[in-house]
């Protein structure tokens, strides 16, 4: 199997847009053939479900995933093979995850393998969280449009007859649905941004210090940082690790008032107690129970930036299961 295309830090490359595979495909289509492998449907136990995608190049490099293992190796080979055909060429293939592939999952995956047509790729720029892709198969290619859920056709089943020319299919979008606002670009912030890079989050990274405006960091003054929190969607996670405890408190209060899904602050139990006491003095004591400080999953006590980053990333992933 070819090596995966290396992700860049948030804000510095296509891999960190809400739909990194799409931005990667758009960037590469300008000067080289690109294949796209999509899971149309899955039944039973499978590594990934409908909507998982992998962009494949002729040299074997790939971005994204359809589940790893022998299935992904096979999909990668199929993607490379279809690049020998004209743009718009496609095929639908079924794979039982059993002895044939040397896997024991026991499920079944239906893949759409295609060579993307640069003249029919406008849909790559129309993607949005919560929407779906309607795909129509014809002799000349796969024609897609992005539609809201209420317009989308019924989901496709891997047990249904294999679709052919004329079929209209629903392709779910697996995007970085939860926004994560990270405040602070010091050692821990940099480590956390790197860990979050391949994970299913829409990262927005901020700092108020001009010297730290690098690698995808958005520079803003303190008012601008607070405004970003108030403008964030309610299901956002707010992660606060600035260089200034007074600024940490200001952003913490803004996050708690915004009722974000998670307001996490780097620090100790003592820092949490001080913040809670100040909230109480300001008449906001009822917000204190929603404050997560120290940040990160319980039981991980290391203080190295990489250790903290992994603990925080795990805490964010736990939000997705609740």
Confidence of residue 10 (pLDDT cuts 50, 70, 90): very low
What residues contact residue 112 under an 8 Å CB cut-off, 6+ apart?
36, 37, 38, 40, 90, 91, 92, 135, 142, 169
Indicate the pTM of the whole model. 0.63
Quote the CA–CA distance of 293 and 278 in Å, as a whole number: 14
Please write the tens of the pLDDT for every residue from 105-121.
667 889 999 999 999 99
Please write the tens of the pLDDT for every residue from 36-75.
999 998 888 777 888 889 999 998 888 888 877 788 889 9
Question: Are the beta carbons of 163 and 137 closer than 8 angstroms?
Answer: yes
Q: Report the pLDDT value the prediction gives residue 185, as an integer from 0 to 100.
A: 94
User: Residue 119: CA atoms inside 13 Å, Cβ hemisphere, count?
Assistant: 5
Q: What are phi and psi of 205, to 5 degrees?
A: -115, 130
Instruction: Give the chain's domains with CATH numbers.
Output: 14-172 (no CATH), 178-319 (3.40.50.720)
> Mean pLDDT across the chain, nearest whole number?
86
User: Residue 36: CA atoms inside 13 Å, Cβ hemisphere, count?
Assistant: 27
């Amino acid at each position: 199997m070819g090596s995966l295309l290396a992700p860049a830090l948030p804000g510095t490359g296509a891999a960190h847009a809400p739909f990194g595979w799409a931005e990667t495909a758009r960037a590469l289509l300008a000067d080289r053939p690109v294949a796209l492998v999509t899971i149309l449907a899955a039944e039973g136990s499978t590594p990934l479900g409908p909507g998982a995608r992998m962009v494949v190049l002729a040299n074997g490099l790939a971005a994204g995933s359809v589940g790893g293992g022998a299935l992904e190796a096979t999909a990668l080979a199929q993607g490379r093979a279809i690049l020998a055909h004209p743009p718009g060429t496609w095929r639908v293939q079924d794979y039982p995850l059993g002895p044939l592939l040397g896997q024991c999952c026991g499920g079944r995956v239906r893949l759409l393998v295609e060579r993307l047509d640069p003249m029919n790729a406008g849909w790559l720029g129309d993607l949005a969280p919560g929407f779906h892709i309607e795909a129509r198969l014809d002799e000349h290619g796969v024609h897609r449009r992005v539609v809201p859920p209420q317009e989308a056709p019924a989901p496709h089943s891997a047990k249904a007859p294999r679709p052919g020319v004329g079929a209209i299919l629903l392709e779910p979008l697996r995007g970085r649905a939860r926004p994560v606002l990270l405040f602070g670009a010091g050692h821990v912030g940099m480590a956390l941004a790197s860990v979050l890079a391949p994970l299913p989050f829409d990262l927005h990274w901020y700092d108020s210090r001009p010297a730290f405006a690098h690698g995808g960091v958005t520079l803003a003054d303190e008012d601008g940082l607070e405004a970003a929190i108030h403008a964030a969607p309610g299901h956002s996670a707010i992660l606060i690790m600035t260089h200034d405890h007074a600024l940490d408190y200001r952003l913490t209060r803004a996050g708690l008032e915004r009722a974000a899904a998670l307001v996490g602050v780097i620090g100790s139990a003592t820092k949490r107690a001080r913040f809670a006491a100040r909230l109480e003095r300001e008449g906001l004591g009822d917000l204190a129970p929603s404050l997560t400080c120290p940040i990160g999953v319980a039981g991980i006590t290391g203080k190295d930036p990489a250790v903290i980053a992994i603990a925080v990333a795990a805490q964010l992933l736990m939000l997705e299961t609740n």
